[in-house]
Every structure is written in C-alpha cells, then in structure tokens.
Structure 1
C-alpha cells in the first residue's frame, strides 16, 4: 500500500503518556495547508448537515446523509449517531461531498429500540469502543470482498455490546452502547483529562496492558484535535473493561506495528463519498483508510488479539449475551425484526 507507506514515512513519534493501563503515543507530522473539510460535529453545529433514516420505515444498515454546505464533511469510522429509530455507528470513514446527499453504511448499537425518538440524528461526543471497531472493520472488509457491500455482521455487533455490558455490569432497557459510556463517564473522562494533544499531532497509537490495540492517523492536526476526545474515550472504555489483567511487561513496539500496517494486504475500492476506500487486513490485523485529494485523510488499524483473550472471545461471554438479546427481543425490542 504505497500511499500508506508514504504517509507513515512523513510521521514521527512523540513522547508517550500512560494512564493506568492505557498508553498513548502521539504521531506528529508537519502541516503546510489548512484543512479543507468540516468534521460532522462542525457541520451539524452550522446547520450544514442532516442525518436521517432512509425512509419512514427505516433500514438498519443504512442512513441518509445530506450535506447542504459548501465544504465536504468528514464522517469518522465508529462515530456514534444518536436518535431516530435506533442509535448507529459509522462503518467506515467517509468524506461526503459538498452539496450532496448520500447513503451511508452503519451498524446499530441499540438492539432493543425500533421507534423514533427524534426525526434526525445528533452526536454526543462518542464513538464505538475500539475493540468493537476492530471487529467491525474486519467484518466490513469481508463484506466488501464477498458481497461488494460495506456491512458488519449486525448480530455479532449486538452480541459484543451485550457481552461487554455484562462484564462491566451495565444494563440498558434498549441494550444501548451509550449506557456503557454513561455508567463509566467519570472514569473515562479521567483518561481523557490526562492526555494533551501536542503541537503538530496528527494521530496516536494506543496500547492497553502493554499490547498495542490500534492506530489513528489523520491528514491534519486540527482534525485530530477535534476528534481526539471521541477516539480517546473509545480506547479508555476498553482499558477500563480490562483493568485487573496482568500487563505483559513489554514496551509497545510502535515502529514495528506501523511497519506491519504498511506492509499488510490491502484492497482498494471506490469510496462511498470522495476518494478511495482502502481496506487493511493481515494476520491479527484489521482496518481501513480513506484516500482522497492525493492524501490519506484518515487511517485506522487495529490489532486483533488471539481468540480466548478477555473481551475478544465469542465463547461464554457471547453465549450469555445471546440469551440477553433474546430477553430484550422478548420484551418488545425489535432488533432482529428491524433488519432489512
């Protein structure tokens, strides 16, 4: 993946910081031009963007995004959209063209609701937790390869949220991911407060208990500064989930991980909006990048731990979660029936 290798060659690492069991290593690069797009939060605040169901009936894996502004809008992989018939997260990063309406691929993170709470979606400063994003990225890559679509395996997304909720003793009447963040808001915010964005920072590598979990890299430092709180919260929630585990005692090998990402198998597809969708896959590696305007706009890549690792197995935790999903549906939740 030449464009990824070229991008990494322009990046240097800064001094990392460790908060409890989460280590964050900044990635720094020179910025010579101004950002030429808005983030979703910026576009919504200006009234330039509108996110709705695709129709009155709705469709779980797709939403309608309208950009009424003069600038493209960046939608972040895993970014949470709250409201309408059920909360969703973005399946990949998208650069929505100016003055356009597009259909965007999403996953549901609220299995027990299928009724309008609002006519439009909003944001609340959250993203799908990092471990969920890793599995989702792997599923989206497989979907593109086998069916030409950008869909997750929705049932597994619901099961994953239920398993994490069970481990963290967090319960919601609608099996909503947002309940996890609300229940652990104070602890998550402590992680966020401990990390400052440094001058020229365009990304970060995150490690939990001594093991690298993922990298986030953007084209502009202003973009990273805007989106860092959402990303930091997503890794912090996983770190809290895994507190009490014994760290491996090793210093995270950032350079080795970035080299593995650059050397990974890649497939290139026309993007949903502007540019190209670059899928990243390899042994225990999953992710994606958006290439547009002759640069990598955003790259995310995740280390997929071995089966059986806490928080990653589809064994007993997910078996229990399946029973919980049946419980929610039996109480009137329309999770499975709402899929189309």
Structure 2
C-alpha cells in the first residue's frame, strides 16, 4: 500500500493485527526505511545534550530549546515536556538543527499552574507520555495555531472528567497516571513488531488514527507512548474491535486525494498539512523523505 503526500510517496506493508478489547492495532512497516541519524528528545535529555527552558518573556505557547548535539534533534507531534512553569506538548513534528538554540511552538497541558515547582529546577524534563489521541485529534482539527491551545484545554478537561480524581493543576499526566494499571494491562497485548515503523489504530470499530515514520529506529523510541495514547481513549470500550479491510483501505487510499497545504516549518524540512472528508493529518518532509505523518479521524 502507498500514500502520496503532495509529491512525496511512502509505501508500507501491514503486519499481523493485534487486538485487545475495544482497541485494534495494525502495525505498519515502511518498504524503505531511511537511515538518517536523529537524536530523540528523551535521549538528548539523558545525554545532557538538550535543554528546554521557558522564554525570557513569559509565553505559554512557546519555549526555548537548545540542541548541543552534532546530530539533528527530532520532536514529534503531541510529545510532552514536564516541569518549568507548566507542562507542554509539541504542536508539530519538527527537527532542530545541530548546535542550535531556537523557539518552538507548544501548547499547555497543565492550565492551573504557572510557577516553578522547585526553584532549583527551572528546565523542562522528559515525560512518559504524549498527548492522548483525542487531544491530538482535537488539535489537528484546529484551523490554525492560535486555536490549538483552546482545543487542547477542552480535550484535557474532557479527559479529566473520566478520572476518579480531579487533577489539582488540570495536568494531563495526572489523568494518565490515574489509568496506569489499565494501560499496562493493554500494553502487554501490543508489542513492537519486527521492523515496525507505524500503525493504524481502530477504536470501537472506527479507524481513529494512522502514524507513519520512515525509520524503525525512530518509531521504536515512541512505540509505547503512541500505543498508550490510543489505549487511554479506548478504555470505555470493552467489545473487541472489528477490522473492515475494505473500509480501511479506502480511507488510507483517500489520504492521497487530500487537499495539501504547505506551511512554514520550524527547524529543518518542509511541513505539509492535509485534510479530506474523513480526517486531518500532517507530514514533516526532510531530504525528500516523509519523516513522520500523523493522520486522525475528525472529531
């Protein structure tokens, strides 16, 4: 199967279907895996090569990131950073050049806090999560970045209402933690497949999202976080999700017929947003490769 994003084509194969209760995952494997060397945010933090701080002038929707590595740094759509004055998520997949300090666009995932938790820790740290799939879907459907924040807050408010506790600072991470045991139970049924570079997620018999990378090494770093983002939104559905192959193929094929709009990219590469009658997606293209393509069913 293949998808054409503007003038760029990504071909992939479906691997063995995995299902548990109301969630079905179809692992995907790109036919040609790129060999570009990228540093992930988690690894950058672990190695002490990446620093993320608040802007000097207070700014909820931007932070300053410094990549001190000799390798480009990749951040993916919905990836969360925690700490500083409030937790945030990355608004779009982007690549920070080596030895570069730059401002990046983010959305708040903890709206009831604007202060440092610890006066000695002013930087952001890595999170165990990315935004849940419904929040990423809501953000994807926003007309522009100006409305990202309100979409994210509304979605997290809905998320928190499902929790048995009310997060003190309306933090998305607290909602995830409240469902931690259920997530771990599900995660055992959705193992990383050999060579996997993406997935199709089906909840309650509907295709909810598609995630495609062109590198197994990059996808492997995000597998558990991406799976958890769909698990958390499938917990209300107990019945096994069925797979209508013809319907899924039709949805995937129609992505190539979307309306494609090129937008300014932060960092390296070219950013493309697209939509059709079923859903909305985006793609970061660098060196003629589709580095990451998330696509979501419209809410």
Same fold (TM over 0.5): yes
TM-score w.r.t. the length of structure 2 is: 0.92
Matched, 1:81 2:81: yes
Larger relative strand fraction: 2
Question: 3-state SS of the aligned residue for 2:280?
Answer: strand
Q: Could you tell me which runs of 5 or more consecutive residues in structure 1 were left unpaired when the two chains were aligned.
A: 144-149, 306-340
TM-score w.r.t. the length of structure 1 is: 0.81
> Between Structure 1 and Structure 2, how many residues are aligned?
293
Q: Which of 267, 270, 282 matches 1:288?
A: 282
CA distance in 1, matches of 2:36, 2:183: 29
Q: Could you tell me which runs of 5 or more consecutive residues in structure 2 were left unpaired when the two chains were aligned.
A: none
Please give the per-residue CA displacement for 1:86-108, whole angstroms capped at 9, x wherever unaligned: 00011110111111111111110
Kindly tell me: are residues 199 and 35 of structure 1, through their superposed partners in 2, closer, same or farther at Cα, counting changes over 3 Å?
A: farther
Question: 3-state SS of the aligned residue for 1:238?
Answer: coil
CA distance in 1, matches of 2:70, 2:201: 35
Question: 3-state SS of the aligned residue for 1:125?
Answer: strand
Please give the per-residue CA displacement for 1:110-129, whole angstroms capped at 9, x wherever unaligned: 01000012311111220000
What is the correspondence of 1:299-338 to structure 2 with a 5 Å cutoff? 299-305=293-299
Question: 3-state SS of the aligned residue for 1:126?
Answer: strand
Residue 261 of structure 1: CA displacement? Answer: 1.8
CA distance in 1, matches of 2:102, 2:256: 30
What is the correspondence of 1:85-164 to structure 2 with a 5 Å cutoff? 85-117=85-117, 118-139=121-142, 142-143=143-144, 150-164=145-159
Residue 185 of structure 1: CA displacement? Answer: 0.7
Q: 1:67, 1:96 within 8 Å by CA — same for their partners in 2?
A: yes
Residue 171 of structure 1: CA displacement? Answer: 1.3
Please give the per-residue CA displacement for 1:248-295, whole angstroms capped at 9, x wherever unaligned: 855253322211222211101231010111102122411211001110
1:277 corresponds to:
271
Q: 1:94, 1:271 within 8 Å by CA — same for their partners in 2?
A: yes
2:18 corresponds to:
17
1:188 corresponds to:
183
Q: 1:91, 1:151 within 8 Å by CA — same for their partners in 2?
A: no
Q: 1:87, 1:108 within 8 Å by CA — same for their partners in 2?
A: yes
Kindly tell me: are residues 273 and 51 of structure 1, through their superposed partners in 2, closer, same or farther at Cα, counting changes over 3 Å?
A: same
CA distance in 1, matches of 2:45, 2:63: 16
Larger relative helix fraction: 1
CA distance in 2, matches of 1:18, 1:273: 37
Matched, 1:208 2:210: no
